[in-house]
Amino acid sequence: MTAVFDPMRLGAVALDVMAVNRASPADVAARQATRLSHVLRAAQRGSSLYRERLRGIDTLHAPLSSLPVVTRGELMHRFDEWVTDPLLKLEELRSFTARPVCSGEAFLNKYMVWESSGTSGQPGIFVQDAQTMAVYDALEALRRHTPRPLARWMDPLYLTERTAFVGATSGHFASYVTMERLRQLNPWMAQSARSFSILQPVDALVAELNAFAPTVIATYPTAAALLADEAMKGNLNVNVREVWTGGENLSRVVRERVQKALGCSVRNSYGASEFLSMGWECSAGHLHVNADWVILEPVDERHRPVPPGTPSYTVLLTHLANTLQPLIRYDLGDQITLHHHPCSCGSPLPVIEVQGRQDEPLVMTGRLGQAVTLLPLALTTVLEDQAGVFDFQVNQQDGRTLVLRLGLRGEEAVAAMARCRAVLKSFAASQGLASIRVKADLDKPVHRGRSGKVCRVIAQGA
């Protein structure tokens, strides 16, 4: 099996990442400028879409803020014109990602592929070459703050740990694909690193984790909170030293609950399918942008910059490592607040606050009257994967009733609702719930937040 791995590139990037840790903001800005110029040249040379969008613009001298904004919908609609390798065809990639068994394998023997969720109503497919993966590998290995610096100095790649990823394992999702790739690159990790599905019943998940005995758990905040509850009940018995969270909003309450229940440190990060390792949490507890490899522009609803300290309407992402699938001023849809004050940790990289996903766990009624928690990511995964819908909102009415709103109309909406109802009922039964009701709400549009993303799972009384 071909590994998407470039050791020479990884070594060079790793040295540069370590150098930036001791550099100045001016040094970071210089790296940004050089890498942005390289990405722009590659986009104009290899992408017919970007040649069209950047026609008539002197990209050598024009400020980034003057370049056009692109959206996921536009890029996916013109995918074959967007990518710089003509061998990449959207239909072939969709066929590849439709096969979960291929997760972690190389597409065309040289590319990693993952699919995004449809939080903006439009799923995406993102392709990375070995050069881009080397950047992600270096950032993940060298930018994560560790509460045990001596242990990490002796074992920077966590080879002595038993790492469990708890998340969606039914598709080509970035975190799962990344874990499978690492297992393939490092055969000795096959026994010390495993992925666990959040789609299975909680008692089955807990039993698997107890048997595996992880020392590190990587998961989403809502799943970490669920595991903390199981630990407090005495069901989960693992000696975890670190919990890594990402993908959702991590509140102070959840952080403290996980730390107390599992007796471990919690380390948060910020990433997306578009750029896997955008931000990392430092020893002072602040989230830093990896600004040497990604540019984030907090903007208002008209894509005008907002001042530091002001929450954005959305954020524009420019990827400085991926020339295969250029992302230049890409509307990511997240809300962030950028701070320019220096951090006490000494890093030259800017500090941000991120308003992550606000989807909520649903506490439903089990067959024996017991409380059963449904994780929001599990619900959205089964609706996307099994029912084929992406623009939706699930509202909990009571312990046995869900109301599903779809962004569809007419016969298409009726057919989609039938699929969704069957999928939700089947999933609920697999989790040990009593028979549930799924009500249709087809007369109203799906409500979107300020960023255009949907809060897709809403608990009763929220």
Across the chain, which has 462 residues, the per-10-residue mean pLDDT values are: 85 96 95 98 98 95 96 96 97 94 92 81 88 95 65 55 93 92 84 93 97 96 93 97 90 92 95 95 94 97 95 96 98 93 93 84 94 92 90 93 89 93 96 95 65 73 68
Instruction: Name the segment(s) of the chain with CATH classification 3.40.50.12780.
Output: 7-355
Which superfamily, per CATH, for 7-355?
A: ANL, N-terminal domain (3.40.50.12780)
Angle at 299 between CA 62 and CA 338, to 5 degrees: 105
Instruction: Name the segment(s) of the chain with CATH classification 3.30.300.30.
Output: 362-458
**Predicted local confidence at residue 282, as pLDDT:** 92
Distance CA 298, CA 314 (A): 6
Structure tokens at 258: 């996980």
Q: How far is CA 132 from CA 115, 139, 286, 293, in A?
A: 16, 11, 25, 10
| Closest to 292 measured CA to CA, from 2, 17, 14 | 17
Write the burial class of residue 410 (CB in 10 Å: 0-12 exposed, 13-18 middle, 19+ buried): exposed
CB neighbours of residue 383 within 10 Å: 25
Distance CA 177, CA 181 (A): 6
**Predicted local confidence at residue 120, as pLDDT:** 55
CB neighbours of residue 157 within 10 Å: 13
**Predicted local confidence at residue 187, as pLDDT:** 79
CA dihedral 335, 301, 44, 125 (to 10 degrees): 50
pTM of the predicted model as reported, rounded to 2 decimal places: 0.87
Structure tokens at 216: 């590190």
Distance CA 459, CA 359 (A): 8
Distance CA 176, CA 343 (A): 32
* 3-state SS record for the chain: CCCCCCHHHHHHHHHHHHHHCCCCHHHHHHHHHHHHHHHHHHHHHHCHHHHHHCCCCCCCCCCHHHCCCECHHHHHHCHHHHCCCCCCCHHHHHHHHCCHHHCCCCECCCEEEEECCCCCCCCCEEEECHHHHHHHHHHHHHHCCCCCHHHHHHCCCCCCCCEEEEECCCCCCHHHHHHHHHHHHCHHHHCCEEEEECCCCHHHHHHHHHHHCCCEEEECHHHHHHHHHHHHCCCCCCCCCEEEECCCCCCHHHHHHHHHHHCCEEEEEECCCCCCCCEEECCCCCEEECCCCEEEEEECCCCCECCCCCCCCEEEEEECCCCCCCCCCEECCCEEEEECCCCCCCCCCCEEEEECCCCCCEEEEECCCCEEEECHHHHHHHHHHHHCCCCEEEEEEECCEEEEEECCCHHHHHHHHHHHHHHHHHHHHHCCECCCEEEEECCCCCCCCCCCCCCCEECCCC
Structure tokens at 130: 């070995």
- CATH 3.30.300.30 assigned to 362-458: yes
